[in-house]
Structure 1
Amino acid sequence: MYFRKERDGVTLFVRLTPKSARDMIEGVEATDGGRAHLKARARAVPEDGRANAALEKLLAKWLGLAPRDVTIASGATSRVKQVRVSGDPEALAIKLSALVSPDR
C-alpha cells in the first residue's frame, strides 16, 4: 500500500524524480522490497528544498487540499519520501484510491 492511515490524516510513500520535464503524478509503483509508492515528477531542482516544496504543492493540488495540509515528514534529502497529509483519514483514503484507479 502506498499510504498509511493515521489518526488525523495519511502518510504517503512517494518516490520523487526532480528536474523532470513537467510536474506530475505518474501513478503507483511497487518496489523490489514489496512496498508500493506514488511516482511523482517535479521540474524543480533538488537544491535548497525546491523539489520538496514543488512536491508538496503538486500533491496538494492533486488532492484538492490547501498547501498547508501537505508536508514532507521524512526523506527530505532522499528520492523516497514520506509525506504527511492532514485531514480525515477515511475521506483521504477514498480520494487516493479514486485518483490512482486504472479507470481514471
Structure 2
Amino acid sequence: MEGISGFLPIIAMFAVVYFFMIAPQMKRAKKEKVFAAELKRGDRVITKSGLHGKVAELNDKDNSCVIETMSGKLKFDRSAISMEMSSALNKPTVALKK
C-alpha cells in the first residue's frame, strides 16, 4: 500500500494536466480541422494574420484556398484561416432598439 500512495500524487498530477491542458487542445484542433474542411466558395473569412476577404476558390489537392480581397486574389493554406475571427465576422449582429 505504501508504494501506491507514493505514486498517487504523480498520477493525480498527470490526470489534471491531461484534463485541463491536453484534452481541450485536442478538442480545439478537431474543431479547426472540421471548420477548414467545411469552407465553401463565398464564405467571408479572416486569416490568422488579419487579412479580410471572401473565399474565391478551394483546392483539395494541396489543401489551399484563394481569398479575394479588395486589392486582388491571394492563395493561402486552409490552416491559415482563423476559426474564431471568421465565426465572429459571419455571426449575425443584433440591432439595438432605442
Higher strand residue share: 1
Q: Decide which structure has the larger Cα Rg and report it.
A: 2
Q: What's the TM-score, normalizing by structure 1?
A: 0.27
Higher helix residue share: 2
Q: What's the TM-score, normalizing by structure 2?
A: 0.28
Q: Using CA pairs below 8 Å that are at least 6 residues apart, which structure has the higher relative contact order?
A: 1
